[in-house]
Amino acid sequence: MSGGIYDTIIVGGSVAGLSAALYAARQGLKVLVVTKDIGGQLALAPQIENYPGIKAVAGLELAQSIKEQVEEFGAEFVYDEAVGISQLNNTFRISTKVSGDYEALTIILAFGKTPRSLDVPGEDRLVGRGVSYCAICDAPLFRGKKVAVVGWGDHAFKAVKLLRAYGNKVYIIHRGEAKLTDEELIKDSSEMNVIYMPNSVVLEIKGDTKVRSIRLKNIKTNEESELEVDGVFVEMGYTAKTDWVKGFVQLNENGEIITDKLGMTSRPGVFAAGDVTDMLYKQAVISAAQGAIAALSAYNYIQQLRGRPLRKSDWGKLIEK
């Protein structure tokens, strides 16, 4: 067990987690943030224009400035992936992939959404070596190459257009058979700069130190083929990867963590905030507010554990829910 017992462990280092850390640390709580990175989805937004008080800012810059603010109040950070959660007597334990276990009186789950993956051999191994989940971030690294975009719809088409703008030849791999209707893409495909491959699924991503090819299957004919590419952009949207908390807190049919208006989950002492929750609207300012709410609720829960006065008398239900 590392670092003694914390008052709260926050899982996730983007706008929800960092805002929770800010509020919790500022209340004098001993705070640990366990996160894979700083910024999460927010870091993928090149320009945020709807965060109150700031006319325009890159998402990563916004996240980093909240982090600096958090550090001034003494929160600690561990860069790791949380993979397990359990309840001991009066505490909770978060287990991580690499650095071990951490224990706290309360937990705030703020681990947002993660790009959907293909779950095929070669994918994990070649991330950052040709496999990408973010055309906005990585398109400039692939000038004049052959790349595949896996996915369909506005999100995927934006990626295709961006990759085309960098002079790449782009294959669109789509498991359905809908026709291309976007005029720009139709024009590009008539010039063979965009090749549309309907009814296709990726079976494997191949390459030793970087992506060399993908193995495909046509799901109509069952025919398999190999396509030489330098990059694979998986553009299939985002999902709440909540498998590791399933059964511990209640999830909705989309796998999102169900919370009440105080950020409480189905398990007293465990709170949640941001895009990982069942909140309908997924926006930075909403995640920030949810983070603040979860932190104040965690604070009141701890006050109650310690028999100290609460800020509001009706918050007695935090423990007995």
Identity of the residue, 69 or 283, whose beta carbon is nearer to ligand FAD in the bound complex: 283
Give first-to-last CA distance, the chain, whole Å: 29
Q: Hey, which residues are catalytic here?
A: 134, 137-138
Nearest to 108 by CA among 258, 297, 283: 297
Q: Is 105 in contact with 93 (CB distance < 8 Å)?
A: no
Identity of the residue, 24 or 214, whose beta carbon is nearer to ligand FAD in the bound complex: 24
Q: Is 105 in contact with 7 (CB distance < 8 Å)?
A: yes
The distance from CA 125 to its chain's CA centroid, rounded to whole angstroms, is: 19
Amino acid 313 reads: S
Identity of the residue, 87 or 193, whose beta carbon is nearer to ligand FAD in the bound complex: 87
Identity of the residue, 229 or 279, whose beta carbon is nearer to ligand FAD in the bound complex: 279
Stretch that binds ligand FAD, among 13-21, 137-145, 214-222, 263-271 (CB under 6 A): 13-21
Secondary structure of residue 188 in the 3-state scheme:
helix
Tokens (6 digits) for 52: 């109150």
- Per-position x/- string for 251-280, each x denoting binding to ligand FAD as judged by CB under 6 A, each - no binding: -----------------------xx-----
CA distances from 227 to 167, 175, 189 (A): 19, 16, 17
Helices 284-305 and 15-26: crossing angle in degrees, nearest 10, is: 40
**CA separation for the pair 80, 36 (Å, rounded):** 5
155 binds ligand FAD (CB under 6 A): no
151 binds ligand FAD (CB under 6 A): no
Identity of the residue, 72 or 243, whose beta carbon is nearer to ligand FAD in the bound complex: 243
110 binds ligand FAD (CB under 6 A): yes
162 binds ligand FAD (CB under 6 A): no
Task: Kindly determine how many residues on this chain lie close enough to bind ligand FAD according to the rule CB under 6 A.
Answer: 32
22 binds ligand FAD (CB under 6 A): no
Residues facing residue 238 across a β-bridge: 115
Q: Which residues, numbered 278-297, are part of the site for ligand FAD (CB under 6 A)?
A: 282-285, 287
- Contact positions vs ligand FAD (CB under 6 A): 11-17, 34-37, 40-42, 44-45, 48, 50, 81-82, 110-114, 274-275, 282-285, 287
